[in-house]
Amino acid sequence: MIVLRRVYDGVADHFKIRASEWVMLWPAFGLWFVLQLDPDMFTTSPSFAVLADWGEESTWAWFLSGCGLARLFALTINGTFRGFVFSPHIRATASLIGAAVWSQVTLGFLMAWLTTGGAPSGVIGWSTMVLLEIFNTHRSWADVGKQGLDAG
């Protein structure tokens, strides 16, 4: 029970300043979830044509779950263990993983728009995720070395 309380306090104490990182759990787990519900989702729109060429829905679901779990791990340990100085490094790594995944999704939608008649709106939506992850990476690296100053 003490460990759960410590984790809860660590998450709650930093939730507000890490909100953009917590928000990025939604596209990772959300898209993973809908790929579980509809394992033939890539056949529903030409916007998914290039992503389908690069991998099956189950493969993409595996990457998305890894992205979401890396983020959840990073945010759970953030602030939970006050003496652990590598929390911002782990958060930055999770953000870089997210940027890598979302950049591939964005590129897939861009290529589909240019070659198979996919919708250009997907490029805007998914590239927003990339930009947010770049912002999150910058904020995480800015926190390196601050543990000794403000413990979190």
Listed as ranges, residues in the chain with pLDDT below 70 are 3, 6, 10-11, 79, 82, 145, 147-152
**Residue ranges covered by each domain of the chain:** 2-150
By the 10 Å C-beta count (0-12 exposed, 13-18 middle, 19+ buried), 72 is classed as middle
pLDDT in tens, 101-110: 999 999 999 9
Contact 86, 140 (CB under 8 A): no
pTM: 0.85
By the 10 Å C-beta count (0-12 exposed, 13-18 middle, 19+ buried), 45 is classed as middle
